[in-house]
Structures are given as C-alpha cells and as structure tokens.
C-alpha cells in the first residue's frame, strides 16, 4: 500500500458574510480543470473547513506529491492561475504568513495514538 501523508493548512477569508457565502458557493462545484490539477499532483483527499473567516484545509497525499512540484504545475497551468487570482479576491493572508504566502502549514500539537 502506498504511503499517505497528511498536511493541514490555514488561511483567512476577507471577513464579509456575502463574500464568504460566494466563496462557499464556488467551492460546491469547483472547475473540472482545478479538480484535475489537484488529482494530477497526487493529492488523494482535500477537505476545507471554515469557522468564522478562518479556513482549515486537510490534504492527504501520495508519494508523488511535493509542494514544489504542485507549485510548478500550477505556474504552468493558465486555468489554475485564473482560479488562484479569483480565489485571492476572497482570501487574505494570516497575520503570521511570510510575504507572498497564502496557505500556512499548521503544526500538529496532539495526535491520539491508535489502539
């Protein structure tokens, strides 16, 4: 069985109820090209949760995934670039994000061990 790695990331939305509702509506049916680009990067599971204007993304990835490879694939994909430009109209960086950083990797502080 292939090794699966989990990553958890966070990002904020602009704190506006109408814009948040629009962001959620867009994510109920993402563009087919975006789904294809996610799968092509060997992302097996991607879930996004929201509380207030804070987003939390869980990704489970296979062995072919790397953030560098995904970034290069996205840079070369015009549709992904359009998507990212659209998404950034709803999103804002976390206060602790590095310049140009969108999604920030979260640090795991607890894990319930399996029995």
The string of pLDDT tens digits covering residues 22-56 is 999 999 999 999 999 999 999 999 999 999 999 99
Query: Domains in the chain: how many in total?
Result: 1
Mean pLDDT for the stretch of residues 70-94: 98
- pLDDT at residue 1 greater than cutoff 60: no
In DSSP notation, 5-37 reads EEEEEEEEEPS-HHHHHHHHHHHHT--HHHHHH
Read off the CATH number of the domain in which 42 is found: 3.30.70.1090
Distance CA 8, CA 48 (A): 10
For residue 34, give the nearest of 72, 83, 76 by alpha carbon.
83
User: pLDDT grade, residue 80 (50/70/90)?
Assistant: very high
What domain range includes position 54? 5-105
pTM attached to this predicted model: 0.92
CA pair distance 83, 37, nearest whole angstrom: 11
Tens digits of residue pLDDT in 87-96: 999 999 999 9
Structural domain includes residue 113: no
pLDDT reading at 2 higher than 90: no
């Amino acid at each position: 069985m292939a090794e699966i790695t989990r990553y958890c990331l966070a990002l904020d939305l602009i704190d506006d109820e109408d814009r948040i509702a629009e962001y959620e509506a867009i994510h109920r049916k993402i563009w087919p090209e975006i789904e294809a680009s996610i799968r092509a990067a060997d992302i097996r599971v991607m879930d996004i949760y929201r509380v207030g204007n804070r987003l939390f993304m869980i990704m489970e990835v296979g062995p072919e995934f790397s953030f560098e490879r995904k970034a290069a694939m996205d840079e070369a994909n015009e549709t992904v670039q359009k998507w990212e430009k659209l998404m950034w109209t709803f999103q804002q960086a976390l206060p602790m994000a590095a310049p140009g950083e969108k999604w920030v990797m979260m640090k795991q502080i607890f894990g319930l061990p399996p029995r």
